[in-house]
Structure 1
Amino acid sequence: MGGIEYVYWDGARLTPWMKHCLERLDADLRRLFGVHLTLDSSKGIRLNSEQRAIFLDRYRPQSSGSGPFGDVRWWNGVRYVRRSGLGTVAQPGTSNHEIQGSTAAVDLADSGGSGIGTMGSARSNWLRRNAGNYGLVPEGFNFNEAWHYAVPNIFNPVPAGGLSKPEAPPLSAKASTKMTIYARRDDGLVVAIPEGGPTYNYQSAAEYNRHRETVAAVNGQRQKDGQPLVTLPPVLGSIVTMTSERLNDLIRSQGAVLSPAPVVKVEIPDVDVPELNLDEIAKKVNDEADKRARDRLKG
């Protein structure tokens, strides 16, 4: 995207007009709710290589079936199925995050729990109603992503004095200052807890490791381009295991939003003995669920 002038907010790549719109929103969030707008390096305009890395991290080629989320997409003549619980991603070249004509996209959050990125929350409902006042379009509500907003007319000129901090691209790569804590629940699930954002559950160790490898690859390219780095998740061995109660306390202390654990689907076997005790059936189902959970972690 040569020739486009970029500015940055918490590492997120924006045009000056986009930053102007978000600064106006930030001022009202502080005035009305006492919170501030938060972004990170993947939530603004993305290069095609970044969109490709994110897409391939969450989707896998699969000739049939719809996967655990019923999300099937075609890209470059190949059928892909989403395997990650981190949310949908548009095929490379089609996402508003890559700039489509004069429209781009941002994924928004704020510094308070259950904020503008949480579907149905007070601030989310407020921003959805008032998005047009800030040059935003709440298109994410069409696909269950309350944090996703389109920004049309991104090349509009900024009024004189409109940008409070007209930042230039960073001269050297640096790690994001936003904190993400990774912990393993007592049932083995790996949970990412971004500061002020939604928690992410990795349904298997293999899924978590693929995500880590993708982040490392993206950072390699961003290092070459002198862009801010995405926080690299720790290796699995360095993640502390804790009880669910302690983990929930940690999530609250981060100002994050608790996301539900993935549902383990277990088929109840046919039982020919009608007098079989229901408690015994429940125990068999729970034992099978525990076994499958352990097998996923080994994978």
Structure 2
Amino acid sequence: MATPLTAATFLSKLRAEGVKVQEHGDWRTHNRNSKGAWGPVNGVMIHHTVTKGTEASVNICTDGYAGLPGPLCHGVIDKAGVVHLVGYGRTNHAGLGDDDVLAAVRDEKALPAANEANTDGNARFYGFECVNMGDGQDPWPAAQVEAIVRASAALLRAHDWNADGEGAISVIGHKEWQPGKVDPRGPGISMADVRKRVAERLKHEASWSPGTTVTYTVAKGDTLWSIAASKLGDGNRWREIAVLNKLADADAITPGQKLKLPKK
């Protein structure tokens, strides 16, 4: 449970995680705060738009439609992996969901099946709508799923949620929140895989990308500082090595030990 980030911090955290961002209009102040609470927040919720094309999806998520005013989320993630920011604050994305699910997200526990709609999710979750028809046939490109992973990890990292890098329970799908929902679905995405990948990201620095680590064998006289200086060009990056290898004591390395090093 946490106070929502400011819009400026939200934007900076996304960019630090390598998310491609496009800002739209007055997104920083476009919200439904006059209709109810925004926060405390507990996690990130992923949806599909049931629309085709980036422009149309951004427009409907910005403006809403008859019976459901916009904004309908904080960001629209297109198929190329760009996150289009359309609102900030309370948005009409989550609706009513299961209080037991909210408790599990808050406590970072295994998710129960959603069977009730009794709790306001618009106040409790950051929401991303992803461009997809939601028919179970429309594919989810790798770039789009990677953007989901990075955007989610950015917010978990900012709030220190799932700090142990295991489970990433703070990221859920709409279908896991509200009974009767099916999003997100389709070839190329599963929430279990998204959570697994978010959990892996949280073991690394925000600048990390999959496949960008190398292995180094510790030699006699090495320190994390000397390794960072010689292999990464900056001794101050020793902390990245410590985090990447989950070293509780940065001085406790021994000759012959294998260490993963981040990208130079």
User: TM-score, normalized by length of structure 2?
Assistant: 0.29
User: TM-score, normalized by length of structure 1?
Assistant: 0.26
Structure whose CA Rg is larger = 1
